[in-house]
Amino acid sequence: MDKEQLLKAFSQASDLDAQEFEMGLLVGMLIDPGVDSHMVRDHFEQFIVSIGASNIDGVDQLLASYKQYGFGKKPLSTVDVTHSSLDWVLRQRQGIPIALSILLIEGARRVGLTACGINFPGHFLARIDGVLVDPMNMRVIEAGDLDLANSPAMLIEATTTMVGLRMLNNIKAMYMQAQNWQQVLEIIDYQFAIDDNSPEVMASLHFERGECWQKLGVLNAARDEFMICAAICPYPELTSLAEEKSQGLVVKDQILH
């Protein structure tokens, strides 16, 4: 699948509800263009059969089955982009919370349980049949584990779009840390494909794109991105910062010429 096809696939997946698994497969194709998504689907189907799906009738049994298969036992010592790949996570039985959640959510639905992701800050969670679950250790989250009285706003159900953006944010952050600005720009392209309607998201992505072009020394492109951000951003602080950056680049550009 070439870039145009992949961009279209991301856009189509984000338009549908409960497509976290498909979104995860697409992210895996970004990480490893050679991955065979059909084989990953087959692997997951085999996994569902192996955990005795027909005999699972509740959250506890589901989590026990995942643990028996090896999930929730081996915490990651370090994190890299591979750990966002559903293919790798299925094979190694470990990964980052959002990738593990996708496999858990899809498995829960396959056995007839209701399931969704929870876009909790810093640690993606799952909700299975109304019960909060930590995908890292495949256990139910007890009331004392979170300050639930102050957390309702943080327990937002994650849409397919949210899942895609968050997965790509994780990968983008690693490329930023490595100062691989071309790869960051590539990931931002896919994030635009996932969500090109939200002014908040679009403004943030244009700002990040401007910073990347600035890092690469392409000042005209950077200035254009900051100007777009300032024009559409609903947040006064980010608007002011984008305007300041775009004006500063005009001065630098004049000096360079």
**Model confidence pLDDT, tens digit, residues 33-47:** 999 999 999 999 999
Tell me what percent of the residues of the chain surpass a pLDDT of 90.
81
Is a pLDDT exceeding 60 seen at residue 254?
no
Instruction: Tell me, yes or no, whether 189 lies in a domain.
Output: no
By the 10 Å C-beta count (0-12 exposed, 13-18 middle, 19+ buried), 238 is classed as middle
Q: Looking at the structure, do residues 24 and 99 belong to the same domain, yes or no?
A: yes
Same domain for 152 and 204? no
Domain that holds residue 219: 198-256
Task: Report the pLDDT value the prediction gives residue 29, as an integer from 0 to 100.
Answer: 95
Q: What is the 3-state secondary structure (H, E, C) of 13-35?
A: HHCCCCCHHHHHHHHHHHHCCCC
Q: How many domains does the chain have?
A: 2
Residue 2 has pLDDT above 70, yes or no: yes
**Same-domain status, 102 and 150:** yes
SS3 233: coil
Given a cut of 60, whether residue 253 has pLDDT beyond it is no
34, 42, 97, 53: which is closest to 71 by C-alpha? Answer: 97
Same domain, 7 and 94: yes
Task: Answer whether residue 188 is part of any domain.
Answer: no
pLDDT, mean over the chain: 92
Is residue 230 within 8 A of residue 223, CB to CB? The reply is: no
pLDDT digits 0-9 by tens, 140-199: 998 677 765 566 677 889 999 999 999 999 999 999 999 999 999 999 999 999 998 999
Please state, for a pLDDT cut of 70, what percent of the chain lies above it. Answer: 93
CA distance 27 to 39: 15
Distance, in Å, from the CA atom of 61 to the CA atom of 67, rounded to the nearest integer, reads 10
Residue type (1 letter), 249: L
Question: Measured between alpha carbons, how far is 141 from 132 in angstroms, rounded to an integer?
Answer: 6
Give 93's contacts (C-beta < 8 A, 6+ positions apart). 69, 70, 71, 73, 74
Same domain? For 23 and 103 the reply is yes
What's the rounded mean pLDDT across residues 3-29? Answer: 96
Using the predicted structure, report yes or no on whether residue 75 has a pLDDT greater than 80.
no
Closest by CA position to 163, among listed 33, 19, 28? 19
User: Of the candidates 100, 132, 158, which is a domain's last residue?
Assistant: 158
Q: Residue range 95-114: average pLDDT?
A: 95
Predicted confidence at residue 255, as pLDDT, reads 52
DSSP conformation class of 73:
S
CATH code: domain of residue 126: 3.10.620
* Position 209 in a domain: yes
Is residue 91 included in any domain, yes or no?
yes
Residue 172: inside a domain: no
Backbone angles phi, psi at 252, to 5 degrees: -60, -40
The residue behind tokens 């959002």 is 98
Single-letter code of the amino acid located at 151: S
Residues 228, 135 share a domain: no
CB 95 within 8 A of CB 76: yes
* Res 96: pLDDT: 95
> Which residue did the predictor score with more confidence, 249 or 27?
27
| Residues in the chain, total | 257
- Asked if 32 and 130 sit in the same domain, the reply is yes
Going by the DSSP 8-state scheme, the letter that residue 128 receives in this structure is: E
Among 133, 158, 183, where does a domain finish?
A: 158
Q: Do 154 and 30 share a domain, yes or no?
A: yes
Which pLDDT score, from 0 to 100, does residue 166 have? 97
pLDDT of 1? 84
Mean pLDDT computed over 60-83: 89
Burial class (CB in 10 A: 0-12, 13-18, 19+), 215: middle
Determine, yes or no, domain membership for 181: no
Q: What is the mean pLDDT of residues 101-128?
A: 94
